[in-house]
Amino acid sequence: MKRLFLLLALPIALTLAPLPAAAAFVFRVGDKVYVDGKEYTLEEWQRIRGNTDAAEPPVTKGPATQAVPAAPGGARAAGCTSAIYYDEFPNEDERFNCSLGLGSLTREQILQNGWKVDFVEKIPPIPGQPERSPRGLPLHLYKLVISR
C-alpha cells in the first residue's frame, strides 16, 4: 500500500518540484496573502518575498509593454503554473511561472504572444498542507498547458 501511495504521489511531487519555495504554505484571497498562517496585504507580500515579481511594475490594462522572449527551438507547447495556492481561479492580473524560459506571464500576455490555453489543471495541496481557505473553499495550484 505504501508503494502505491508513493507511486501516486511522485507525479505531484515532480510537478511541484520546479516551483520556487519562499514559504511552506502561501495562498491569496482577494487583496490578502496568507503565509504560514500570517496575513499580509499583496504589496507587503511582494516586498517581503523579494523576488523579481515585486520589482516589476504593476500590470496595466492595454497593450503589453514588455517583450516576452520566444520559445527556444520553436517549441510549440509549454506549461505555466501559479506560484501560490488559490481557492478560485486566479485573477487576470496574476502571473503564472512558465516553462521554456518564457518567464512569469499573465494570461493576457500569454494570449498576446500567440499562445493559446489548451488545458487547465487543478493541482491539490501536498499532504500535510491545509486543504481549505479561510472561506472554506478547497485550495489548488493552477497549471495551464499552452500551445501555439
Q: Where are the domains of the chain?
A: 2-21+71-147
Measured CA to CA, the distance from residue 115 to residue 108 in angstroms comes to 10
Which 3-state string (H, E, C) describes 41-59? Answer: EHHHHHHHHCCHHHHCCCC
pLDDT digits (tens, 9 = 90+) for 62-93: 444 455 555 556 678 899 999 889 999 998 88
Cβ-count burial of 127 within 10 angstroms (0-12 exposed, 13-18 middle, 19+ buried)? Answer: exposed
pLDDT digits (tens, 9 = 90+) for 33-65: 777 777 888 777 777 765 444 334 444 444 444
Residue entry with cell 503565509: 35
